[in-house]
Amino acid sequence: LTSGSEMPPLYCESYCKASKGKMKITMKKYCKKDFAVQVHVLKGDKAGEWWKFTVNIISVYKQGGHRIRRGDQLLWVRAKDVACKCPKIKPGRKYLLLGSDDDAPGQSGVVADKGSLLIPWKDLWGRRLRKFQQRGKRGKC
């Protein structure tokens, strides 16, 4: 998704600091975020200052205040975040998304930003996330 609006690499490096690093899913990371979902990115369209991605939410491991439902939803990402590839997102791929409850610019959907974790999905994470979900329900977060 590069539409000629690439940001200067140095700007992106300091801007995206938080999203670099090892992609291990820990209870701590799970607890810090408001929601955790498995998404399949179907398509993306630029909408002003934002990219609007149509995603299929496959599994909801943690609900935020927005009561995320399974099925097709909108995922909003700021254009500058997409340009810097933080988070790096491609249609046709499945991801684990851990994010915070931010208001979507449209009427509905969820928001991902440079502080969100958007990680290419691995099937072995399903069981681990279910464990985190059970611990979270028992007040372990």
Q: Which residues contact 106 (CB under 8 A, 6 or more apart)?
A: 47, 52, 74, 76
pLDDT for the residue numbered 3: 47
Mean pLDDT of the chain: 87
User: For 16-39, how does the pLDDT look when each residue is reduced to its tens digit (9 = 90+)?
Assistant: 765 444 578 899 999 999 999 999
Closest Cα to residue 75, out of 52, 101, 50?
52
Listed as ranges, residues in the chain with pLDDT below 50 are 2-4, 19-21
Please give the angle made by the CA atoms of 106, 99 and 48, to the nearest 5 degrees. Answer: 30
CATH number attached to the domain at 24-137: 2.40.50.120
Domain spans, the chain: 24-137
